[in-house]
Chains A and B, each alone.
Chain A
Amino acid sequence: MNMNFSAASNVNASKNAHSNVVIDCNLDKVFYGDFLAVRDSHVPIQKGQITGFIGPSGCGKSTVLRCLNRMNDLIEGFRFEGNVHFNNQDVYHKTVDPVVVRRYIGMVFQQPNPFAMSIFDNVAFGLRLNRFKGDIAECVENALKKAALWGEVKDKLKASGLSLSGGQQQRLCIARAIATEPAVVLMDEPCSALDPISTRRIEELMIELKEKYTIALVTHNMQQAKRVADKTAFLSVEISEGGRTGYLVELGETSQIFDDPKEELTQQYIRGEFS
């Protein structure tokens, strides 16, 4: 029914070592304790594109995203079936260090969360963590420029990161995430705590960043996905015995998902019949 759906694209991804799938995400079942949070969600994330995840509250968008860089490992009772491949390496293989995974797959969170240190140190943090040998000041400047924040903070790099406004803090967090040049940046509702003007800036920023970085974007805002995402995955939620379980309904080009959704549920969601 849906040509883009899971299995077909997975086979392609694993067949071509040089395919442009950076993260191949095959989640069969994700549990928190006994509770099945997400099932059957297979989303290949293409290099140099923005892959948007939309869906109603509690559909497991964030859970899927947090599986990709093993942030869910920090949650008690997390366990999953399936696999996640990053450049054809199994992210969950027992020899893989989740800490290293997170250095290559960066993350921007829902709430802006700069560290309680200066703007400069916030961006330099990841570089220092990796014992970066080059010119830290230059890297910090570049990251801040890419995050469209340099002009506003260049005269107060020593000021606390927490002294910035919400929108600036979020751009600082983006600068921090891209300073270490990760291959993929995961963004978990990065604009949900921001005003429309800041949101706009960050959306423009995402489109600029996808030239160099692959982005996976979770958003509660359908219009945002429509504006910035190349591919869109629509997840929905069903009430099961253990609680609410999210699953992938449809995945495709953003224009196809919004203009010509194949699934009845997607149509209803796009029309705004539930949220």
Chain B
Amino acid sequence: MNIQDSFHPEQEIAKEAPCLQRSLLEGRSITNILLTGIAWLAAIIASVPLISVLYGLIVKGGHRLSLEVFTELPPAGFEEGGGFGNAIVGTLVTVGFGAVISIPIGFLAAIFLAELEPDGKVAYVARFCAKTLTGLPSILAGVFAYAVVVLATGTYSAPAAGVALALLMLPTVVLTAEGAMRMVPSKMKAAAYGIGCTRSQVIWKIVLPTALPGVLTGVMLAIARAAGETAPLLFTALFSNYWFVENGTAHVMEPIASLSVLIYNFAGMPYENQIELAWTASLVLVMMVLLFNILARVLGRKKV
């Protein structure tokens, strides 16, 4: 009797309670598994190109990696050895010119868009232009700088390349900096006004420092993109087989070497040595771009 009594209620509950077991054959759990699998597959496919490119570059270009390639000038036709030190310097110089032009303009434009007149007509037009410029084919940036700078100065040069690259960097700098500044909580700005800040003090002392990691991320991404560009350089920087700084003088208003143009030139040559160097140069360029991207992430993560 006792046993029956104590078991009876449990059995009743078991009958009425819904079954909580997972059923793999049910329609929605099959869909669930299928979609999860597809998402996994897509994620893996998406990372295949970068990994395979890196793998290919390391296999084909890695063995030529030595101090020599960083310090030597590019070899002529049948010459053995050589390197692309001047092209690395050239890439840094051209991107440097681009950064010097685009960062101040982009930064101030972002302040205007995010803080001064965020809803004005000028802001609307500027924002639309910046977004459109994001998709500008890079060769057009090159042609533009050719027409504006190269024809005017009568020579291919690093500043001309800088203008072309600045055109490509500008929208990234403006839009990410604007986004970062807009992320600054309005209650923080209210606090600054409440304590007696003028508008420029609010912007310089509160908005900019708070948004700085995000702004730097945008700058680094823009630099990373510009470092890999080839087309705009063909029209503006051309190429050079010599160092940017030679015998203590910088050859600013002369054609300048760059990694991407060196790769473009050497990859098409019929000489084994040059083709090998092109692979190595590609590896170095990818590593530089990767470095800027990692830097962007590190700076973006930094919090006060």
Neighbouring A residues of B198 by C-beta, 8 Å:
99
Nearest Cβ in chain A — how far from B120, in angstroms?
12
Query: Contact between B209 and A116 (Cβ–Cβ < 8 Å)?
Result: yes
Q: Nearest A residue to B212 by beta-carbon distance?
A: A116
Instruction: Report if A71-B209 is in contact (Cβ < 8 Å); known contacts: A116-B188, A116-B304.
Output: no
Number of interface residues of B (CB under 8 A): 19
Judging by beta carbons under 8 Å apart, are B193 and A71 in contact?
A: yes
Main secondary structure of the interface of B (DSSP, over half): helix
- Given known pairs A116-B209, A160-B304, the reply for A102 and B195 (CB within 8 Å) is yes
Pairs across A and B, CB under 8 Å, 25 listed: A71-B190, A71-B193, A74-B190, A100-B196, A102-B194, A102-B195, A102-B196, A103-B195, A107-B195, A109-B191, A109-B194, A113-B187, A113-B188, A113-B190, A115-B192, A116-B209, A117-B209, A117-B304, A118-B304, A125-B205, A126-B195, A129-B197, A160-B303, A176-B195, A180-B195
Q: Which residues in window 118-160 of A have CB below 8 A to B?
A: 118, 125-126, 129-130, 160
Minimum CB–CB distance from B118 to chain A (whole Å) comes to: 11
- Beyond A74-B190, A113-B188, 15 additional pairs, beta carbon < 8 A: A69-B194, A71-B194, A99-B197, A113-B191, A115-B188, A115-B191, A115-B192, A117-B304, A125-B195, A129-B195, A129-B196, A129-B205, A130-B196, A180-B195, A180-B196
Bound form: Cα–Cα A126–B193 in Å: 11
From the candidates B185, B193, B209, name the one contacting A102 in the complex (CB within 8 A).
B193
Q: Say yes or no: B195 contacts A106, CB within 8 Å.
A: yes
Of the candidates B191, B193, B196, B197, the one whose C-beta lies within 8 Å of that of A173 is B191
Q: Which residues in A have some Cβ–Cβ distance to B below 8 Å? A: 69, 71, 74, 99-100, 102-103, 106-107, 109, 111, 113-118, 125-126, 129-130, 160, 162, 173, 176-177, 180
* Max count, chain A CB within 10 A of own CB: residue among B188, B191, B195, B206: B195
Knowing A115-B206, A116-B209, A160-B304 are in contact, say whether A109-B190 is a contact too (CB < 8 A).
Answer: yes
Is there a chain A Cβ closer than 8 Å to B201's Cβ?
yes
B191 (CB) vs chain A CBs: closest residue: A113
* Chain A residues positioned under 8 Å from B210 (CB to CB): 115-116
Number of A-B contacts (CB under 8 A): 64
* Chain B residues within 8 Å of A116, by CB: 188, 209-210, 303-304
User: Which among B185, B196, B201, B304 is the interface contact of A113 at CB below 8 angstroms?
Assistant: B185
CA distance A69 to B196 in the complex (A): 10
Q: Is the CB of B187 within 8 A of A99?
A: no
Give chain B interface residues in 55-100, CB to chain A under 8 Å. none
Give Cα distance in the complex from A32 to B241, angstroms.
67
- What is the bound-complex CA distance between A178 and B190, given in angstroms? 16
Contacts of A114 in B (CB 8 A): 191
A74–B191 alpha-carbon span in the complex (Å)? 12
Q: Are A177 and B185 in contact (CB under 8 A)?
A: no
- Given the complex, which residues of B lie within 8 Å of A102, measured CB to CB? 193-196
CA distance in complex: A160, B303 (Å): 9
Give the distance to chain A from B213, nearest Cβ to Cβ, in Å. 10
Q: Which of these, B185, B188, B190, B201, contacts A129 with CB under 8 Å?
A: B201
Cα A125 to Cα B194 in complex, Å, equals: 12
Q: A113-B185, A113-B190 are in contact. Are A126 and B304 (CB under 8 A)?
A: no
A114 to B304, alpha carbons, bound, how many Å? 12
Q: What are the 5 closest A-B residue pairs judged by CB atoms, nearest first?
A: A103-B196, A107-B194, A113-B187, A102-B196, A113-B191
**CA separation between A100 and B192, bound complex, in Å?**
13
Residue of A nearest to B304 (CB): A116
Give the residue among B196, B206, B303 with the most A Cβ atoms within 10 A.
Answer: B196
Q: How far is the CA of A8 from the CA of B170 in the complex (A)?
A: 62
Shortest distance in angstroms between A151's beta carbon and chain B's nearest beta carbon? Answer: 24
Pick from A69, A116, A162, A176 the residue with the most CB of B within 10 Å: A116
Minimum Cβ distance to chain A for residue B235 (Å)? 43
| Across-interface contacts of A99 in B (CB, < 8 A) | 196-198
Q: Which residues of A contact B197 (CB under 8 A)?
A: 99, 129
Among B188, B201, B209, find the residue whose CB has the most chain A CB atoms closer than 10 A. Answer: B188
Q: Which residue of B lies closest to A179 (CB)?
A: B195
Contacting residues, chain B, for A115 (C-beta < 8 A): 188, 191-192, 206, 210
A113 CA / B197 CA spacing, docked (Å): 15
Considering the complex, give the chain A residue whose CB is closest to the CB of B194: A107
Q: Are A126 and B187 in contact (CB under 8 A)?
A: no
Bound together, the chains give a CA A113 to CA B189 distance in angstroms of: 9
Closest to B184 in A: A116
* Complex Cα spacing A113 to B190, Å: 8
B:35-70 near A, CB below 8 Å: none
Complex-state Cα separation, A154 to B167, whole angstroms? 50
Question: What's the Cα separation between A162 and B191 when bound, in Å?
Answer: 14
Contacts of A118 in B (CB 8 A): 304
CA distance A44 to B197 in the complex (A): 26
Q: How many Å lie between the Cα of A118 and that of B193 in the bound state?
A: 19
Q: Which of B208-252 contact A (CB under 8 A)?
A: 209-210
Tell me the bound Cα distance from A180 to B303 in angstroms: 27
